[in-house]
Structure 1
């Protein structure tokens, strides 16, 4: 962490401590600004069926979280922490391989009786954010889909969140990633939390919000959560290896091992509890580290006798005092919930507007997408000018024209295909996160992405055509030929982006898309009409030409180029190629291909998104 960043985080940290700047304690005064809700769960079991049998991850655990308190769940790897959070946030959908039993309640009533997303939000461990957006824009986008389209309300929520999360100084900085310099890890984490807090939920559940952060930055995040709790929210989080300073900020603590609870109560009492069981923590040892050593199990599927005895003793002690745990439950001053309340669900128009704005921002600021297309347009355009300047009208020149037209076909389709096949997998995690949360549907996502990218596609296509067309003396008998050529070029580039999106959506990552993309393009290119006459294609594979945009682009280029061109007598390039009909017919076929690709991509994304929901 650089000196400037550490200073800014220190200012954020001090701002949370209040007047008692020497202490990390925030005065436990409940400052309610909304709905006050408690969360409880009873006899929660979670079993997953695998090829090796059933794996019981959670074993009839019960507990609660009070409003105004920070509840932290800790445990060794595989203890069931994340699974419990997923169930409490209603993120897991039971199916034939997943069995969930027990009840989760808000204010003593089953969550099934309420629109749960209007009460609870879940923050994932990974900071999945759009790298090309600023912190303010990320919060604005979330507010548009979670709060409403009223600009004044959205602005108010965003400004409040930037202030509360101490992000005002970096509000207009790009979030960034490995390629784009942007926010620090702690700032990204706060943006990620803000994206969920923007809807002002009563319950906020977080999975490892301090993961990957240094000790100082992790403490800043915990202080922010502590402050949110004292506004009346119910905060539940898992934390891995907290420092002693962080531990002092915890209100309540749950310790888990092998799907069981072995401690639940005030965090400040946990050390004495284990001391009384004979697991004494000396004054120089961080209590959380001490607890993790106690709860450590090498192989939970093959425990040693000593581990079994230790776990049995811990469970017996926990069961003996479990009833007393609920004496600390807050039951007064809770809000009477309205069962008819619903969280904000944007319509298709609002989804499209928000997504088009995000896609447009991404296409403008994405260096990979922008510079690849710009360099290709400039370099290839000038290279064609140098090699084929001032074509004539004889036999050799006609053949050269055919070659140039097919090379241009390949150029436009591959330009769109290559760039989109690489960028689409990068957007997959963000889409899956938003889809699981129900922010928008697949139709709005695909259509908005397609429409938002059109301006840059038209710009780069126009740039390439202007550089090439007049320099190599293509058909200039009338202005019509130029504009038809430009329109066909834009359509071919558009369908190329469709092929790229298809390759990207079926690819798990960028590396796979670089293999799948050419594998899809090769047969389509071979049956494009240049390498063999359309009437000489094998009957077994003849159908490929009908799904190839290369075919219709090349045919359209040739019909536009060679009709009315003053070529030498006796030459019939269209007859040699076997092309008849009109240019608009080829344009219509290209539009149909783009429509089919769009519907196919929507269907695949729908399948992938629903599958991700069940994981």
Structure 2
């Protein structure tokens, strides 16, 4: 179409202009063709040049959990196995069988607990992990993304953050285009990921995007935990097919699945069957039924083999007799497999049998080190720039949230304006002014904090996962987040104050109006910082929403109107000094009352000065600027708390220790 339009334009021109335009058009098309061919060469090299193949082997791998009564519960019981390049290994078993524990242990991402113990040997190409130069990708069960980012933007972010070897823009774009094509995400490449509020990707597309985010760093080993969880049959088939296709390029792929359909079972090359942490079978998937048939367990004709195997090794808790019977069956199957693997000659070792420990097994593996460790792909400055771009897009594209916040501020200002409309200059209006300044301080602070509490704990989960992949540290993330959100956050308190101030008839001096807006904005920043600190410390969004308002309630009580600071016990005097409500209310009162006189409502009474009102409230400052400085200190303090909490809650994983001698 473009060629047709250009040709028509050339023909329509006078003859003396046709030749120069034709030459210029040819040059432009030549440059475009060169760029396209360069991207194609890079993409083909990315496909062809991947990396050395990886064989992952584990031996005597055990995980135990110390319970309250002092006994140890075995989560994984001396498992042996290997995953080979070009083969899809699937771990199946009933709920609680140890599938996720095994995947996390192999990925080096078993969450740290002082009550948990991980031991055994894990080697990649014969060397104890972590092995320099070997990269791995871990696809978690839950798909977590920034909702306002498109598929392509999400992948570009991943490749820039995690792939130091891909340094040029052309190579990064070619990598992303290649991954999008391989995983069938072309139709939704420019679609936002979406969330519960914003329509976006389907469940299957999100799962394929999770796989794509791991592929951009060109891993040789890919581990996927329950990649079909929560998907319908068709989406589950697509997700598993995407993993199966990776084996065509000699990737080593391990996936855990609860109960796959028969068409998915047919994709398996190797099968690991677990029950109650014990190995029941490990070997070629197509030979599994023959193994159990020798033990007297025959799969009915036309029956899904995966369902048959899962039912065979499940523990039935419906009654004591059935539980006892099912446990005995599982124990006999585990014993049969152990006997079979132990009797095999080590020279002709079957997959899943015992292996010799590696020669360097005496060295401890660093806690949380996966088989391959990916260093950040860019500098600290570049990290800040990329994270700032993502945070800005996340904030500014969320039109529903922005509209909700704006309408909330406008409606609140309208309600307060109606209640405190055009307050007079009499002494009766002093109480009204105090009440208005207090509720406006509380309203602005609560709105900013609740918004942060609703969003940050969910975002923190995504950030924690990205930090586990060594994408970036806390500092650039926090700097970028604040730089993106503070300008937007300043708009809403200014909107609220601009409507309320003139409507309520507060101090008419223009300088006082500007200071009032500054006070509300500073208080909004402090409340947002408090929300970040609570959101960083709370284990979940619901917990944060319970803790945050409780803390704010204490600050409201000590906010300067309900409790006089002079009469407080010494042990409690620190609370008003740290209360962001107190600082906001005090600054607003100084701004409103200082230098003003209020006429008596009844004859025989003298004027009341603003200084007298401030003296009765026992405020410790006499300048608005002092309260603004205190608000700034409180804000910085909560930012520092947020940073420290996020640092303390950095991802920590269990170290892999050599087996204990008994």
TM-score by structure 2 length? Answer: 0.80
Q: Is 2:477 aligned against 1:445?
A: yes
* Equivalent residue, structure 2, for 1:494: 525
In the alignment, which residue of structure 1 is the partner of 2:340? 317
1:177 is matched with 195
Is 1:81–2:119 an aligned residue pair?
A: no
Could you tell me which residue of structure 2 aligns to residue 403 of structure 1?
435
- Alignment check: 8 A CA contact 1:73 1:255 kept: yes
Residue in structure 2 matched with residue 48 of structure 1 by the alignment: 65
Report the CA distance between 1:254 and its aligned residue.
Answer: 1.9
Residue 383 of structure 1 aligns to a residue whose secondary structure is: helix
How far apart, in 2, do the equivalents of 1:267 and 1:307 lie? 19
**Which has the larger displacement, 207-216 or 555-564?**
555-564
Question: CA–CA distance in 2 between the matches of 1:575 and 1:151?
Answer: 66
Classify 1:45/1:551 alpha carbon distance in 2 versus 1 (closer, same or farther; 3 Å).
same
1:517 and 2:535 matched: no
* RCO comparison, higher one (Cα < 8 Å, 6+): 2
SS in 2 for 1:63: strand
Helix, strand or coil for the counterpart of 1:48?
A: strand
Q: Deviation of residue 93 (structure 1)? A: 6.3
Name the structure 1 match of 2:18. none
| Residue 456 (structure 2) pairs with residue 424 (structure 1) | yes
Q: Please report how far the alpha carbon of residue 175 of structure 1 lies from its aligned counterpart in structure 2 after TM superposition.
A: 1.9
- Check if 1:551 corresponds to 2:585: no
What is the CA-CA distance between 1:129 and the residue it aligns to? 2.1
* CA distance in structure 2 between the aligned counterparts of 1:256 and 1:510, rounded to whole angstroms: 34
2:194 touches 2:200 (CA, 8 Å); kept in 1? yes
Q: Is the 8 A contact 2:87 2:247 kept in 1?
A: yes
Partner secondary structure for residue 60 of structure 1: strand
Residue of structure 1 in register with 2:89 after alignment: 71
1:583 aligned onto 2:624: yes
Cα distance, 1:524 vs structure 2 = 0.7
Structure 1 residues without counterparts, runs of 5 or longer: 1-29, 330-338
Identify the range of structure 1 (234-243 vs 37-46) with the bigger mean alpha-carbon deviation: 37-46
- Structure 1 residues 87 and 473 mapped into 2: Cα distance closer, same or farther (>3 Å)? same
Measure how far apart 1:199 and its partner are.
0.9
**Alpha-carbon distance in 2 for matches of 1:613, 1:348:** 28
**Aligned counterpart for 1:34 among listed residues 35, 48, 51:** 51
d(CA) in 1 for partners of 2:655, 2:393: 31
Q: Structure 2 CA distance, aligned partners of 1:171 and 1:157? A: 14
Q: Distance in 2 between matches of 1:203 and 1:562?
A: 69
- Deviation (angstroms), 1:572: 1.8
Structure 2 counterpart of 1:570: 607
Worse overlay, 123-132 or 527-536: 527-536
Q: Are residues 452 and 548 of structure 1, via their aligned partners in 2, closer, same or farther at CA, if it must alter by over 3 Å?
A: same
TM-superposition CA deviations, 1:313-332 (whole Å, max 9, x none): 33323433474455899xxx
Pair 1:125 & 2:141 matched: yes
Query: Residue in 1 aligned with 2:331?
Result: 308
Shift of residue 289, structure 1, vs aligned partner: 1.7
Q: After superposition, what is the alpha-carbon deviation per residue over 1:523-576, rounded to whole angstroms, capped at 9, x for unaligned?
A: 211111123444344444222101101111122122222335465473222333
Give the deviation of 1:214 after TM superposition: 1.7
1:99-136: CA deviations, max 9, x gaps? 22222111111113436xx5111111111222333222
Offset at 1:256? 2.2
Name the stretch that deviates more: 547-556 or 427-436: 427-436
Question: Is contact 1:432-1:612 (8 Å) kept?
Answer: no
Q: Which consecutive unaligned segments of at least 5 residues does structure 2 have?
A: 1-46, 354-370, 600-605, 657-662
Corresponding position: 1:276 with 2:307: no
Q: For the residues of structure 2 that align with 1:201 and 1:222, how far apart are their CA atoms?
A: 17
Q: Which residue of 2 aligns with 1:215?
A: 233
Q: What's the Cα RMSD here? A: 3.0
SS in 1 for 2:286: helix
The 2-side partners of 1:307 and 1:488 are apart by 68
8 Å Cα contact 1:136-1:158 kept in structure 2: yes
Paired residues of 2:191 and 2:200 also in contact (CA < 8 A):
yes
Matched residue, 2:277: 259
Q: Which residue of 2 aligns with 1:146?
A: 162
Which structure has the greater CA radius of gyration?
Answer: 2
Q: Give me the whole-angstrom Cα distance separating, in 2, the residues matched to 1:328 and 1:543.
A: 63
Q: Secondary structure at the match of 2:504?
A: coil
Secondary structure, counterpart of 1:59 in structure 2? strand
Structure 2 residue corresponding to 1:527, chosen from 554, 558, 563? 558
Bigger mean CA offset, 90-99 vs 490-499: 90-99
Is 1:482 matched up with 2:513?
A: yes
| Paired residues of 1:31 and 1:230 also in contact (CA < 8 A) | no
Q: CA deviation at 1:181?
A: 2.1
Tell me if 1:379 matches 2:397.
no
- SS state at 2:608 partner: coil
2:125 is aligned to 107
Conservation of the 8 A alpha-carbon contact between 1:32 and 1:232: no
**1:58/1:80 contact within 8 Å kept:** yes
Task: Classify 1:432/1:485 alpha carbon distance in 2 versus 1 (closer, same or farther; 3 Å).
Answer: same
Corresponding residue pairs, total: 574
The alpha-carbon distance between structure 1 residues 58 and 322, as it changes in their structure 2 partners (threshold 3 A), is farther
Deviation at 1:202, TM superposition (A): 0.8
Distance verdict in 2 for CA 1:521–1:461, change over 3 Å? same
Q: Conserved in 1, the CA contact under 8 Å of 2:474 and 2:647?
A: yes
Shift in alpha-carbon separation, 1:292–1:387, aligned structure 2, 3 A: closer
Q: Does 1:600 align with 2:641?
A: yes
Q: Secondary structure at the match of 2:95?
A: coil
Q: Which residue of 1 aligns with 2:205?
A: 187
Please give the secondary structure, in 2, of the residue aligned with 1:609: coil
Correspondence for 1:5: none
CA distance, structure 2, for counterparts of residue 599 and residue 448 of structure 1 = 15
1:412 aligns with 2:444: yes
Q: CA deviation at 1:614?
A: 8.7
* Residue of 238, 241, 248 corresponding to 1:230: 248
Change in CA separation of 1:227 and 1:309 when aligned onto 2, cut-off 3 Å: closer
Is this contact kept in 2: 1:559–1:582, CA < 8 A? Answer: yes
**Alignment check: 8 A CA contact 1:120 1:203 kept:** yes
Comparing 100-109 and 185-194, the one that deviates more? 100-109
Q: 1:469 to 1:256 in 2, by over 3 A?
A: same
Matches for 1:350-389 after TM superposition, within 5 Å: 350-366=382-398, 369-389=401-421
Deviates more, 1:194-203 or 1:371-380: 371-380
> What is the Cα deviation at residue 495 of structure 1?
0.6
